[in-house]
Structure 1
Amino acid sequence: MTGVFAFPALLPSFVQEWGLSNAEAGWLAGISFAAYALGAPPLLTATDRIDARRIYVAGALVTALSSAGFAWLASGFASGFVFRLLAGLGLAATYMPGLKVLVDRYRGERQSRAVALYTSSFSLGTAASFFLAGEVTALFGWQATFAAAALAAAGAAVVVVRLPAVRPAAATAAPTRLAGLPAVFANRGAMAYVLAYSAHCWELFVWRSWMVAFLTFGIGALGLAHVPWPAPTTVATVSGLVAMAASIGGNELAERVGRKRAVAGIMAATAVCALSIGVTPGLTYPVLVAASLVYTALIMLDSATLTAGAVAVAEPGRRGATMAVHAAIGFGCAGIGPVVFGLVLDRAGGADDAFAWWIAFAALALVGLIGPLALTLGRPRERVSRDGG
């Protein structure tokens, strides 16, 4: 994960060093997630028949290669694009297949909590990535950051390859790698969670991609001569820890009040916060930091809940295929979102214009409202069961 999220952590530096437009910056931030969306369906449906551990290890090695290539060969938009795309394919073979590694090995009474812990650990990895990028780059340069990311990915491969092998319970009616996908699309309840998750991913990865740039703009708008404490990359690091706690807490809330009800309220509150955060650069820096952390928490409150919901309503033997659709559409939106956000910034006045930032966040708020609408129209049935619903 470090190689994927080190780039957004250093986005303002790359914009300046490589002379990128906001749209180009959005492409480089988002292409990894678009590549994830392309790679996820065949990789995840394969986990219904072969041990996901094998896919994870291969993906970790691809991620290591992409980070090493970015460190030593990337010099501008075109070369950076290639290695960012490769990083997304590596992520596709590790994130959700990693979840399948977990659910194939843990089928206890609280599997939903295990799923929530795993998905929320994504935020911990994001926080570590922002911290590593900020600290290592300050000392040794951005190339060293991506070299360290390559070593971390190789280490993950070593850890997972040592896990015991399992044979997944495959669906007998799945003769080809993608044959299970039509049944997933026919599952109205699962697709409701998939669409809500897609809106969530759009919001989340726009924010993760542009947070440091937004905070950097806020510092400039306040006319501060020096970068105040905490620095933007430090705020992004803390936001990752906030996100992990929010994801776990949100799942616990959903267990008590119901997934649909929890998600609807959370996404509505997130939309309101998106409209508000666009005006915070004109206020004090502590207010900007506090608003950023609140926005992070609201975005992440429903993350684990949406994934656990999709797993819970999936047909037996179709969990891998359901997770494939869940990840492909969700991360497809994650790839598009940062690009659209950058385009809106360019069209509305540029990244140095406060009103342009507000317009971009207002557009983001509208996307977030798709989630409650999808769950209302899809009417997924709650199946809170002892085996992980």
Structure 2
Amino acid sequence: MRFKPTGYTPFMLMAQTCALLGFACYAVVLTTLQDEWHLSNLQSGLIASAFFFGYMLMVPLATALTDRVDAKKIYLVGGLLATSGLLGMGILADNFWTALIFMAINGAGLAGTYMPGLKILSDRIKTGELSRHIAFYTAFFGIGTGFSYLCSGWILDGLGWRYVFGIIALGPFTALLIVLIFIPALTHEKWHGPIHVRLHDIFPV
């Protein structure tokens, strides 16, 4: 049986690709920033790690919240965080410490879009084979990150490292707009009670 995507799947695939454009920005400009900011290898590595540290901190919160509220809301927050982190790197970052902050925000933004994007599909697809839709969505991770390296390299060669972050910030912002405009909100609320975050439940995990 031929796979037929729902009306939501193509939009989420486009959003997924756009949201991932900021994934490789720092990796592409790393050596340039090392020279300009006189960073040690340790400092360069810590900035790269800040992206994944922000991602790690955001994942359990964003994923847990999608069971309580519409994942679309989480996605919009994630897109806003990623856009802010990239713009901060392009406009405001001028040393090791500011780069740490903005890269962590960028990583948290990615966490707020990737898994919530899966939840957006699973909450709205009621017919057909959901596993195939999810397989297409996860496969686009490689496409999005590949475009991130490609586009970042092009921009760096032509305009400089600040433009890499500034222009690529349009990616997660576009993803935010796609979800905001083309993905309808759920017709029912998932949870009406208060939301409690219990850290003692997270630590064992």
TM-score band w.r.t. shorter chain:
0.7 to 0.9
Aligned to 1:281: none
The corresponding residue for 1:41 is 60
1:164 aligns with 2:202: no
Give me the whole-angstrom Cα distance separating, in 2, the residues matched to 1:75 and 1:182: 38
Alpha-carbon deviation of 1:31?
1.0
**Contact kept in structure 1, 2:25 and 2:149, CA below 8 Å:** yes
Deviates more, 1:130-139 or 1:20-29: 20-29
1:6 aligned onto 2:25: yes
CA distance in 2, matches of 1:41, 1:55: 12
Residues 15 and 104 (structure 1 numbering): CA distance in 2 closer, same or farther, change over 3 Å?
A: same
Kindly, what percent of the aligned residue pairs are identical? 34
Cα deviations by residue, 1:318-345 (Å, 9 ceiling, x for unpaired)? xxxxxxx7xxxxxxxxxxxxxxxxxxxx
Whether the 8 Å contact between 1:49 and 1:168 is mirrored in structure 2 is no
Q: CA deviation at 1:15?
A: 2.3
Q: Tell me the CA shift for residue 175 of structure 1.
A: 6.3
- Structure 2 residue 98 is the aligned partner of structure 1 residue 79: yes
Contact 1:45 1:177 in 2 (8 A): no
Say which is worse superposed, 91-100 or 104-113, in terms of deviation.
104-113
**Runs of 4+ with >6 A deviation:** none
- Cα contact 2:67–2:190 (8 A) shared by 1: yes
Counterpart in the other structure of 2:35: 16
Q: Deviations over 1:166-217 (max 9, x none)?
A: 1578589x964446x959x7xxxxxxxxxxxxxxxxxxxxxxxxxxxxxxxx
Is the counterpart of residue 31 in structure 1 residue 50 in structure 2? yes
The answer on whether the counterparts of 1:50 and 1:168 sit within 8 Å (CA) in structure 2 is no
Report which stretch shifted further, 41-50 or 163-172: 163-172
Does residue 149 (structure 1) correspond to residue 168 (structure 2)? The answer is yes
How far is the alpha carbon of 1:137 from its aligned partner?
0.9
Greater Rg over alpha carbons, structure = 1
Displacement of 1:83:
0.7
Deviation at 1:28, TM superposition (A): 1.0
Contact 2:79 2:172 in 1 (8 A): yes
Structure 2 alignment gaps of length 5 or more: 1-19
User: TM-score, normalised on structure 2?
Assistant: 0.79
Q: Hey, what's the Cα distance between the residues in 2 that align with 1:109 and 1:147?
A: 40
User: What is the count of residue pairs matched by the alignment?
Assistant: 184
Write the deviation string for residues 258-299 of structure 1: whole angstroms up to 9, x where unpaired. xxxxxxxxxxxxxxxxxxxxxxxxxxxxxxxxxxxxxxxxxx
Q: Structure 1 residue 126 and structure 2 residue 153: aligned?
A: no
Q: Which residue of 1 aligns with 2:108?
A: 89
Question: Which whole-Å deviations, capped at 9, do the CAs of 1:4-59 have from their partners, x for residues lacking one?
Answer: 32111222222222222222222111211111111222222111121110111121
Rounded Cα–Cα distance in structure 1 between residues aligned with 2:189 and 2:92: 42
Q: Distance in 1 between matches of 2:132 and 2:64?
A: 23
Question: Which letter does structure 1 place at the counterpart of 2:45?
Answer: G
1:94-109 matches, cutoff 5 A: 94-109=113-128
**Larger relative contact order (CA 8 Å, sep ≥ 6):** 2
**Whole-angstrom CA distance in 2 between matches of 1:137 and 1:52:** 34
- The separation in 2 between residues aligned to 1:27 and 1:130, in whole angstroms, is 20
- AA matched with 2:61: P
Root-mean-square deviation (Å): 2.6
Which among 59, 62, 67 is matched to residue 78 of structure 2?
59
Q: C-alpha separation between the residues in 2 aligned to 1:56 and 1:13?
A: 32
Give the whole-Å Cα distance in 2 for the aligned partners of 1:68 and 1:177: 32
- CA spacing shift, 1:68–1:168, aligned 2, 3 Å: same
CA distance in 2, matches of 1:177, 1:167: 24
Q: How far 1:76 sits from its partner (Å)?
A: 2.1
Aligned equivalent of 1:346: none
Instruction: Map 1:292-311 onto structure 2 (within 5 A).
Output: none
